Structure 1
Amino acid sequence: MWIARRRLLSLFAGAALAAAGLTAPTPAAAEPVRAGAETRPAVFIHGSAGSAMQFRTQAKRLASNGYPIELIEAHEYDSPNIATIIASVYADLDARIARLLAASGAEQVDLLAHSLGTFVTQGYLNSSPARAARVANYVNLDGRPATALPGGVRTLAIWGEGDPARTVAGATNVHFPDQSHTQTVSSEESFREIYRFLQGREPRTTAVVPQRHPQVSGRAVLFPSNAGVGAATVELYPVSPLTGRRLTHRPARVQPVAADGSFGPMPVLPYARYEFALVRAGQATHHFYFEPFVRSDAFVRLLTSRPGEGIGALVDTSDRHTALTFQRQKEWWGAEGDELWIDGRNILNAANAPRSKRVIGVFVFDDGSDGVTDLTAPLPEFFAVTFMTGMDVFIPAAQRRLGTVSILSRQRGGGFSAMPVPNWRSSEHRVSIEIDDH
């Protein structure tokens, strides 16, 4: 008990110091030696309705094994319109690769793609021998089979649950029949295979190794187009690990969002919790909560939308209830080991988050603003969207002063997270919560 109390006091102290612009001592960690010149840039290409978020954990695992973080990038695009923009996606990838090669001094890059991203990447590699020649290795993550190596490039193909006959001919094909579609991107087992394939040796670690002085950067983007939000400001607040409420009235950092949505880097304290507030004139403030950043993270994405647009427009709002959106880059399997508790109630079940739905995004709000919770069936307009589900849960909102929504997540296979957040009014605030996949 004393150890747990001391840990909580440490978290409070660290967050308070962060707000004051000071640093606190953090546990010593074995900082990996930076990789030598032989390390090639690595570029991740996401799938449908995806972003750099799917590769957040693997990017930090690569960095924990010596990859320079500036040589790990994500190539993002408007996936719903890929058929009409494919030529520009290829041209932008040409420019990205050229820039990375010039910056690193390497002769080739490694490409890693997931789902729809494998369609994009295989097409890119097959489109031109010159393009393929600039790629040393390709990792095909639970996506498109092929009858030959794309562009003749050395390939690793990782497959999750589903048809065991799927292969890329001539590639190293690895099957994880107990892993779901997005889980094949983020899992520890996939990372081991990826690192062994790219580097020809075992990784020193499959953990995300803590750093003394991590920094966070990313983009605020419109979902699912990945277009930059623009005309917005990001405010960073240290928050209480017990309540999720802000520890200071003023933000520790304030930054305008660039035209492409980028912001940062922002220094943070490891093991402290933070809120990112996306502020736009005339719009509801969008609050984003992440688990502690124990290591520098350049793949943070603040996924939002314009008022009245996108899937967010389907969320009922009122002064009486709080609306929450959850993300995890490992599918939730209701009734098969995953649990998501809100104020003492597990909201996941076989009806609203079946394994077959591959849910990574969960919308939770009071449907109809009637003060009634109904978990017997998912909200159909959300369940109809790929990788999404919706649930009718009444979460009372603040009336006179902010309270706390208790959130506990338990992962199948192990892992437990406590992510309390304030009970913001949905009429004026949007709340998104990213739960780690490891």
Structure 2
Amino acid sequence: MHTRRQLLLLGFSTTMLAACTTLPSSNERPPIVFMHGNGDSAALWQTTIWRFESNGWPRDRLFALDQPFPLARDDDTVAQAGRSSTADSMAFLKSEVERVLKTTGATQVVLIGNSRGGNAIRNHVQNGGGDRVVSHVVLGGNPAHGIWAIKGRQERSEFSGLSPFLQQLNAPKNGSGDEVTPGVKWLTLRSDRNDKYAQPDGIWIGIKGTPTHVGFDSAALKGATNVVLPRVDHRETSFSAAAFDATWRFLTGEAPRTLAIEPEAQITLSGRVTGLGVDPLKPDSGAFSNNLPLAGARLEVFAIDASTGGRTGPAVWQQTIMQDGRWGPFQAQPETRYEFVLSAPGYATTHIYRSPFPRSSSVLHLRPERIAESDRDAKALVIFTRPRGYFDAERDTLSFDGQALPPGVPPSGSGVSSSKIKLPNDAPRTIAAEFNGERLVGQTWPASHGDVSVLELTY
């Protein structure tokens, strides 16, 4: 494993983080561009954006991106339907950075990336001219030295530590052996031992018992400020309050005023409706996510009872999704829970239940589900999901329909972010789930009618 700069525990990192900042005062904040990870979307940055806003960063200086095809190729050098190469990702990011600079009139941006998004950021800064327009980079859970480094195993994947892509990114940049491009300030955030993609054993990549030749410190980079966030999982390296705290200190040299998300009196919600793709060469391999607009989908929004999940009246918002995929703006009521119902040809009618929204958001993205063949026997189907983190039965307090260990969640480890219950009865009823104090409530719907319920955590 590569030599690293001494890793800092978060509680002792304030002084060093403060020494790294040169950003201007609060009334001159530079634009921040957020780049999501493999298979993800801009929606995952919602709580991070809220925390930046709650601490005074201007809303119009926060830009979360949606890469059209967010999944990486199996082989970076071979075209693959519905997937993107490292070159595609860099070109997309470069174009978006140029757009943000033009829109804001700024001369430099801050880039913040999670997981695979960090690969695109490093590539852009090192090989795409980003070093001229980027002041600071923050990488959360970036597999900088690969998820595996096994000879003969997909060596041309961008996630292999042996790939030409990562080898050139990690090549020494100076006599000190720094792996980061000079002239830009770099921060990496990683878990101590809880990131599923930085494990010495291949348990989370389907080869349990096989050494990956990658360590817990895979995300750290020589020449960067490297911070360890104890017990966080792969996604929490970017989307947790601890990740925000370290990021804010690095950018401003000060502690954030608050780690809480401060509520707004007026809440406006909008976002995009996107779909699922299928590889035409492997139609039986299952659907995969993309960020392409799902034109023609129908969206309805209902206010619901906080204790039963039942609707309290007719739809408060209805819309047919147009070619751009955008929905809204919808004026939501504070403290009100909503059910978002998506219907589109080829998809299940998907009922999404969320916690009340404390603030406005333009990245409330929605995607309908498909019912897998293996779930066709269910009378009702309910999915409990945590997009911004994973479930850890040893670390977290959770329940799903009264089960303390939800189906599919292992008794140890942070490697699963969703759970599914197949009910033997299609009679509509209340169903609830809870994660570390965030409680969701919804209703079941008959799967025979093509309906699916989704309980989606915000935090």
TM-score category, normalised to shorter length: 0.7 to 0.9
Matched, 1:149 2:180: yes
Task: State the distance in 1 between where 2:373 and 2:47 align.
Answer: 30
1:326 corresponds to? 385
Equivalent of residue 245 in structure 2, options 192, 208, 211: 192
Task: Check whether the contact 2:233–2:414 (CA below 8 A) recurs between aligned residues.
Answer: no
- Name 2:92's counterpart in structure 1: 92
The 1:185/1:194 distance shift into structure 2, 3 A limit, reads same
Q: Tell me the percent identity.
A: 25
1:243 aligns with 2:308: yes
Letter in 1 for 2:109: V
Q: Deviation of residue 47 (structure 1)?
A: 1.5
2:375 to 313, 316, 321: 316
Q: Aligned residue for 1:118? A: 118
1:288 shift after superposition? 1.1
- Superposed CA deviations along residues 341-392 of structure 1, whole A, max 9, x for unmatched, are 30x332437x7334435211223225xxxx3xxxxxxxxxxxxxxxxxxxxx
Q: Give secondary structure in 2 for the equivalent of 1:263.
A: strand
The answer as to 2:389 corresponding to 1:360 is no
Identify the residue that residue 392 of structure 1 maps to in structure 2: none
Give the TM-score taking structure 1 as reference length. 0.75
Q: Does 1:225 align with 2:284?
A: no
Q: Judge conservation of contact 1:54–1:185 (CA < 8 Å) in 2.
A: no
Following superposition, the deviation at residue 143 of structure 1 comes to 1.3
For 1:409, which of 411, 423, 434 is the aligned residue? 434
Q: Which residue identity is paired with 2:397?
A: D
Partner of 1:263: 327
Query: Partner letter of residue 95 of structure 1?
Result: S
Structure 2 contact 93–120 (Cα < 8 Å) conserved: no
Aligned to 2:396: 337
State how far apart, in whole Å, the 1-side matches of 2:306 and 2:377 are.
Answer: 27
Asked if the contact 1:38/1:106 (under 8 Å) is kept, the reply is: no
Tell me which amino acid in the other structure corresponds to 2:322.
A
**Structure 1: stretches of 5+ with no match in the other structure:** 1-34, 372-395
Q: How far 1:337 moved relative to its partner?
A: 3.3
Task: Please say if 1:298 is aligned against 2:289.
Answer: no
The 3 A distance-change label for structure 1 pair 294 and 352 is closer
Does residue 181 (structure 1) correspond to residue 207 (structure 2)? The answer is no
Quote the offset at 1:97 in angstroms.
Answer: 1.6
Deviations 1:286-312 (A, max 9, x none): 11111100111222221335x5xxxx4
CA distance in 2, matches of 1:315, 1:327: 22
Segments of 5+ residues of structure 2 without an aligned counterpart are 1-24, 145-169, 171-177, 194-214, 277-288
| Distance in 1 of aligned mates of 2:458 and 2:347 | 28
Question: What amino acid does structure 1 have at the position aligned with 2:185?
Answer: R
- 1:252 and 1:193 map into 2 onto residues whose CA distance is 39
Paired residue type of 1:192: D
How far apart in 1 are the matches of 2:387 and 2:359?
A: 18
Superposed CA RMSD in Å reads 2.4
Q: Deviations over 1:39-77 (max 9, x none)?
A: 112111112222223322111000111222232222222
Cα separation, 2, equivalents of 1:329 and 1:142: 13
On the 8 A contact 2:426/2:446 being kept in 1, the answer is yes
Residues 314, 209 of structure 1: alpha-carbon distance in 2 compared, 3 angstrom cutoff: farther
Question: Aligned residue for 2:71?
Answer: 80
Q: How far 1:283 moved relative to its partner?
A: 4.5
**Matching residue of 1:388:** none
**For the residues of structure 2 that align with 1:165 and 1:184, how far apart are their CA atoms?**
13
Aligned to 1:215: 268
SS at match of 1:293: coil
Residues 287 and 299 of structure 1, relative CA distance in 2, 3 Å threshold: same
Aligned equivalents of 1:352, 1:144: Cα separation in 2: 24
- Shift in alpha-carbon separation, 1:282–1:193, aligned structure 2, 3 A: closer
Task: Name the residue aligned to 1:423.
Answer: 444
Contact 1:125–1:151 (CA under 8 A) maintained in structure 2:
no
| SS of residue in 1 equivalent to 2:117 | helix
Encode CA deviations 1:7-58: one digit per residue, 9 max, x unaligned: xxxxxxxxxxxxxxxxxxxxxxxxxxxx855211211111222222332211
**Residues 86-145 of structure 1, C-alpha deviation per residue, up to 9 Å, x if partnerless?**
3333333223222222222211111111111111211121113x3221111100111133
> Which residue of the partner structure matches residue 106 of structure 1?
106
- The 2-side partners of 1:226 and 1:347 are apart by 32
The structural deviation recorded for 1:272 is 0.6
The answer to whether the 8 A contact 1:40-1:110 is kept is yes
Relative distance call for 1:42 and 1:425 in structure 2 (3 A) is: same
Matched residues in 1 for 2:330 and 2:189: separation? Answer: 34
1:192-236 deviation digits (Å, cap 9, x = unpaired): 111111223221211100000011111222252222222112211
Q: After the TM superposition, which segments of 4 or more aligned residues of structure 1 sit over 6 Å from their partners?
A: none
Please say which of residues 272-281 and 159-168 is displaced more in the overlay.
Answer: 159-168
What residue in structure 2 maps to residue 379 of structure 1?
Answer: none
Q: CA 1:430 to 1:321, structure 2 compared with 1: closer, same or farther past 3 Å?
A: closer
Seen in structure 2, the aligned counterparts of structure 1 residues 59 and 123 have a Cα distance that, compared at 3 Å, is same
Name the CA distance, whole Å, in 2 between partners of 1:115 and 1:283: 29
Name the structure 2 match of 1:7.
none
Taking the aligned partners of 2:182 and 2:143, their CA distance within structure 1 comes to 14
Code of the residue aligned with 1:262 in structure 2: it is: R
Amino acid at match of 2:294: V
- Cα shift at 1:258: 3.4
Secondary structure of 2:71's counterpart equals: helix
Q: Which moved more, 1:41-50 or 1:278-287?
A: 278-287
CA pair 422-175 structure 1, distance change in 2 beyond 3 A: same
- The alpha-carbon deviation at position 180 of structure 1 amounts to 1.3
Counterparts of 1:125-140 in structure 2 under 5 Å?
Answer: 125-128=125-128, 130-140=129-139
Query: Given the two structures, how large is their TM-score scaled by the length of structure 2?
Result: 0.72
- 1:315 offset after TM fit, Å? 5.0
Question: Residue type matched to 1:346 in 2?
Answer: A
Name the SS of the counterpart of 2:49 in structure 1.
helix
